[in-house]
C-alpha cells in the first residue's frame, strides 16, 4: 500500500501545500511530510477526515497492489456472510479486468467462481426464506415446496433433474485430460456412486488404485459394495480400513462419515472423536461440525452446543480467526440451540 504517494498526488491535484492541508487537520506539516515520504501512517481516526477533504473514499486513499486486491477479495469471501453489492461489483470488475494478464488469470478465475458461488448462496438463502414464508400462507402450494427444495438443494423423485449425469460427463473428460491427478477420480467416483453406476465406479477405482494407496481405496470399495446392496461386506471393508489405518486421522474421519450415513450415530461420534485426537494442529473443524449435527438429530442439544464451542475454539486458538463468518456462524448455531434447550 503506497499511502504516501497517493496522498501527495491528491494534495497536488487539489493544489494545496502541506501546511494548508495540515492546518485543516490540526496537525503539523512535519506529520504530513512523514506520511508522504512513507515514514509513518496517520492515525486511523484521521482517515475519514482525510477522505472527506479530498473527496474520495477511504479505500481510494490506499493504492493496493494486484496481490493485495486478490488477498482482500479472498478474505472478503472467507469472512463475510453477505457481500454488499458495492463490494461484489468491485471484486467482479477487478477480477474480470485482470483476466487479460496471463500470470494472474488462474487465481482470478478461481476467485470469480468463488465470488459467484457466494452470491448464489446469498440468493438461495433468500429463496429459502420466501419459500418458507409462502408455505405458512399456502401450505399445499406445490410450487412453494419446489422452490424450497431447490433453494435447500433437497431431494426429488425426478431423476432427470437430480441425477449427476452432467458432472459425471465432465469428470470423465477431466480424468482423461488429467490422468495423473488422483483427486479428479474421487470427484468422479462420488457422482457415479450417488447415481448407482457401480460397474463404472469399479473401473474408475481400479484406475485410481494405481495412483493412490491411502485409506481412500478401501473407503470407496465399501461405498461401491453398499451401493450394490452388499451392506455386510461394505461394513467389513470399512472396519478393516479403520484398523489398518488406525493412526490416520483421515481414515477415522471417513469411518465416522460412513457410520453417520447409515444412522449409526453413537458409533460415528466415537470415530469423530478419534479423528480429532489424531489430527495434527491446526485441525479442521469437520469432526465437530458433523458431531453437532448428529447430537442435534438425537435432540442432545447440550452436546451439540459443546460441539459448536469446539468449532469456535479451533478457529480461535489453532487458526487465529477472531471474527467474520467463521466465528459468527457457530455463535448463531449456539444461540439457536440454547433456545431449543430452554424450551
Max distance between CA atoms of the chain, in angstroms, equals: 83
324 inside domain: no
Do 55 and 102 share a domain, yes or no? no
Residues 288-328 have pLDDT tens digits of 999 999 999 999 999 999 999 999 999 999 999 999 999 99
**Count of C-beta atoms within a 10 Å radius of residue 139:** 9
Sign of CA dihedral 146, 152, 155, 160: positive
CATH number assigned to the domain comprising residue 54:
1.10.260.40
From the list 290, 289, 296, 298, the residue with the least C-alpha distance to 338 is 296
250 inside domain: no
55 inside domain: yes
146 within 8 A of 127, measured Cβ to Cβ: no
Sign of CA dihedral 271, 277, 282, 288: positive
Given a cut of 60, is residue 1 above it in pLDDT? no
Q: Residue 93 is part of which domain span?
A: 85-136
CA–CA gap between residue 170 and residue 187 (Å, rounded): 10
Residues 126-141 have pLDDT tens digits of 999 999 999 999 999 9
Q: For residue 87, what are the CA distances in angstroms to 17, 52, 94, 107, 178?
A: 34, 20, 11, 18, 36
Q: How many domains does the chain have?
A: 2
Of 11, 26, 61, which marks where a domain is finished? Answer: 61
pTM: 0.81
Amino acid at each position: 500500500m503506497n499511502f504516501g504517494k497517493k496522498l501527495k498526488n491528491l494534495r497536488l491535484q487539489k493544489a494545496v501545500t502541506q501546511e494548508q492541508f495540515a492546518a485543516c487537520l490540526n496537525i503539523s506539516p512535519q506529520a504530513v511530510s512523514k506520511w508522504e515520504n512513507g515514514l509513518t501512517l496517520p492515525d486511523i481516526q484521521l482517515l475519514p477526515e482525510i477522505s472527506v477533504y479530498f473527496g474520495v473514499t477511504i479505500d481510494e486513499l490506499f493504492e493496493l497492489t494486484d496481490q493485495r486486491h486478490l488477498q482482500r477479495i479472498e478474505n472478503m469471501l472467507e469472512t463475510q456472510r453477505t457481500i454488499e453489492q458495492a463490494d461484489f461489483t468491485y471484486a467482479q470488475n477487478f477480477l474480470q479486468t485482470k483476466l487479460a494478464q496471463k500470470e494472474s488469470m488462474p487465481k482470478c478465475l478461481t476467485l470469480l467462481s468463488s465470488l459467484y458461488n457466494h452470491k448464489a448462496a446469498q440468493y438461495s438463502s433468500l429463496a429459502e426464506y420466501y419459500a418458507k414464508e409462502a408455505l405458512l400462507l399456502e401450505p399445499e402450494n406445490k410450487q412453494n415446496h419446489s422452490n424450497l427444495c431447490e433453494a435447500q438443494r433437497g431431494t426429488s423423485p425426478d431423476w432427470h433433474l437430480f441425477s449427476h449425469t452432467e458432472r459425471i460427463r465432465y469428470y470423465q473428460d477431466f480424468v482423461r485430460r488429467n490422468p495423473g491427478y488422483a483427486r479428479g477420480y474421487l470427484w468422479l467416483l462420488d457422482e457415479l456412486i450417488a447415481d448407482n453406476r457401480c460397474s463404472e465406479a469399479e473401473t474408475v477405482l481400479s484406475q485410481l488404485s494405481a495412483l493412490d494407496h491411502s485409506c481412500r481405496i478401501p473407503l470407496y470399495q465399501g461405498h461401491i459394495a453398499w451401493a450394490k446392496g452388499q451392506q455386510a461386506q461394505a461394513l467389513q471393508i470399512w472396519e478393516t480400513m479403520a484398523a489398518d489405518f488406525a493412526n490416520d486421522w483421515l481414515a477415522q474421519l471417513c469411518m465416522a462419515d460412513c457410520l453417520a450415513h447409515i444412522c449409526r450415530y453413537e458409533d460415528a461420534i466415537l470415530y469423530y472423536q478419534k479423528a480429532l485426537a489424531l489430527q495434527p494442529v491446526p485441525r479442521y473443524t469437520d469432526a465437530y461440525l458433523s458431531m453437532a449435527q448428529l447430537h442435534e438429530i438425537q435432540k442432545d442439544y447440550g452436546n451439540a452446543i459443546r460441539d459448536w464451542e469446539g468449532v469456535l475454539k479451533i478457529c480461535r486458538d489453532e487458526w487465529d480467526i477472531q471474527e467474520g463468518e467463521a466465528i459468527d456462524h457457530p455463535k448463531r448455531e449456539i444461540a439457536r440451540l440454547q433456545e431449543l434447550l430452554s424450551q
